Structure 1
Amino acid sequence: MSALKFVAMDSETVKSLRNGGPDANGQTPERKTSDGSGNECRHCLQDIREGDLFLVLAHRPFPALQPYAEVGPLFVHAEDCARYPESAGVPSYLKAREAILVRGYGTDDRIVYGTGQTVAPQDIEAVSTKLFERPDIAYIHVRSATNNCYQFRIERG
């Protein structure tokens, strides 16, 4: 069991989106069929299998609007899936990735400069634990190293 919490999108938000609720841009999510090319569901934190339906939507993983509250595209299964358990450790889909971006945020939900770094997936826990030694880090975003897309949030366990 990890001393870190790996926090996927909450189930109520995902349920609303699946029922046609608006995304961060006020749009209805797009429905697509996966070609199996490595699109990750941000709710169950697993790759979406070829042939499965999924939603493409704009997401803002911050509680309020402010200059650092980035909006970006992400994917969730169109059908029900179980939310990733926060205590389950690094999601297995990351093992197929070469690198991932981690970046620390303060209690004001703004980037703590100097914390962003590209790491190998097997180093996420060690790097996150080291970042959390800093009192100015409230949480960490894990993002795509190539496209900066939000993956999930890490919190202290």
Structure 2
Amino acid sequence: MRIHALPADVLDRARARAGADEHHELHPESPGAPLRCCLRRAGDGEPVVLFRYSPTAGRGPYEEVGPVFAHVEPCGGPETTAALPEAFRHAQRLLRAYAADGRIHGGEVAAPERLEDGISGLLDDPAVVEVQVRSASHGCFLFAVTRD
């Protein structure tokens, strides 16, 4: 499995617009906010930008837009892209599998202890090119997973 945070170009655009309009809210601090740039929770005093994001998987009628948080200043990104981020393993997650044409190709709700098995099971289908991991309560995009 390979874990994907938000792409650098998406983050660069959001950071450049932080606080400039209603779609790029600047928050001087939001402790505990789930950061999609480095796949951890924000700490005290870390400025973040809250903005709209549409993952590249999910095109046409399957395209979704939702709110995501990222550091205002560039960070080092995720500690690893080979393991699921610990900061996002505490609750049920919605897993959505997408085929190369951008259509949903399955999905499930996974309990924290079944998250890795659920993702692996969806990626076992050769038609699946990406699994999106989302908040089960809010539907927000957290990160994407592809095969190694």
TM over 0.5: yes
For 1:126, what is the secondary structure of its paired residue? Answer: helix
Q: State the Cα deviation string for residues 4-29 of structure 1 (Å, max 9, x = none).
A: 000111122212211128xxxx9651
| Equivalent residue, structure 2, for 1:33 | 28
CA-based RMSD:
2.1
| Equivalent residue, structure 2, for 1:146 | 137
Of Structure 1 and Structure 2, the greater strand share is in 2
| Equivalent residue, structure 1, for 2:13 | 16
For 2:39, what is the secondary structure of its paired residue? Answer: coil
Partner of residue 61 from structure 1, selected from 55, 78, 88: 55
Describe the shift of the 1:64–1:93 C-alpha distance in structure 2 as closer, same or farther (beyond 3 A): closer
1:107 and 2:100 aligned: yes
For 2:17, what is the secondary structure of its paired residue? Answer: coil
For 1:105, what is the secondary structure of its paired residue? Answer: strand
Q: What's the TM-score once normalised by structure 2's chain length? A: 0.87
1:81 and 2:81 aligned: no
- The question of whether the paired residues in 2 share the 8 Å contact of 1:17 and 1:28 is answered with no
For 1:67, what is the secondary structure of its paired residue? Answer: helix
Q: State the Cα deviation string for residues 23-58 of structure 1 (Å, max 9, x = none).
A: xxx96511013342x311111001011221100101
Q: State the Cα deviation string for residues 115-147 of structure 1 (Å, max 9, x = none).
A: 222212332222111112212211100000100
Aligned pairs, how many?
146
Partner of residue 6 from structure 1, selected from 3, 16, 39: 3
Describe the shift of the 1:20–1:35 C-alpha distance in structure 2 as closer, same or farther (beyond 3 A): closer
After the TM superposition, which of the residue ranges 143-152 and 77-86 deviates more from structure 2? 77-86
Q: What's the TM-score once normalised by structure 1's chain length? A: 0.83
Q: Which letter does structure 1 place at the counterpart of 2:6?
A: M
% identical aligned pairs: 27
